[in-house]
Structure 1
Amino acid sequence: MMHADLIDQDDLRERLQAAGFDVPPGATAEQACERVLLGLDAVRARALRLLVEQLLASGAVMLPAVREAIARQLLPALAEYRQQHG
C-alpha cells in the first residue's frame, strides 16, 4: 500500500516554528505565511527559502490552502527580497 505525505496547515505551522519563525497556534496557512514575512531579514529569508524549497521538492501532497498560501505570499515575497537584496 502506498502512503503519501500530506502537508496540512498544522504541518506548515510546525515546520515554520521548527525553522525559528514565530507562528501562533491555530493560525491558518495564510495567517502563518503573513506572520513569517514580518521583519524579513537576510537570515530569516534564507531559512524561509530553504524551507519552501524543501516543501516543494519533497513530493508531499499539500492541501490547497497550504499550496496557495505559499504561492501567493511566500514565493513572491522571497523573489522580491532577492531582487532587492541580492
Structure 2
Amino acid sequence: MMHADLIDQDDLLGQLRALGFEMPAGATAEQACECAVRGLDRGRAQALRKMVEQMLTGSATILPAVRQAIDRTLLPALAQHFKQA
C-alpha cells in the first residue's frame, strides 16, 4: 500500500497556528488564510512566506481546497506586502 504525503486543511491550520496566527475553531482553509493575512507585519510576513514556499516546493501533495486558498489569499497578500516593503 502506498502512502502519499498530503497537505490538507488541518495541516494548513496547524502550520498557521504554529507560526502564531490565531483563527476560529473549525475554520476552512480559505478562512484560515484570510485570518493569517490580516495585519501582517514584516516578521509574520517573512514566516508566512517561508511556510508557503516550503509547501509549494515540497514533495507533498496539496489538496485542491488548500491550494486554492493559498493561491487566492496568501500569495496575493504576500506579493502586495513585499511590494510595499
Please give the TM-score of this superposition, normalised by the length of structure 1: 0.93
Q: Tell me which residue corresponds to 1:44.
A: 44
| Deviation sequence 1:21-58 (CA, Å, 0-9, x none) | 11222100000000001110101100100110111111
Q: Once superposed, which parts of structure 1, at least 4 consecutive aligned residues long, lie more than 3 Å away?
A: none
Q: How does 1:3-82 map to 2 (within 5 A)?
A: 3-82=3-82
Aligned-pair Cα RMSD in Å: 1.0
Matched pairs, number:
85
Please identify, of 21-30 and 32-41, the stretch whose mean Cα deviation from structure 2 is larger: 21-30
User: What is the SS of the residue equivalent to 1:74?
Assistant: helix
The percentage of aligned residue pairs carrying the same residue is 64
Give the CA deviation at 1:6: 0.6
Please identify, of 31-40 and 1-10, the stretch whose mean Cα deviation from structure 2 is larger: 1-10
Letter in 2 for 1:8: D
Please give the TM-score of this superposition, normalised by the length of structure 2: 0.94
Partners of 1:57 and 1:24 in 2: CA distance: 28
Gaps of 5+ in 2: none
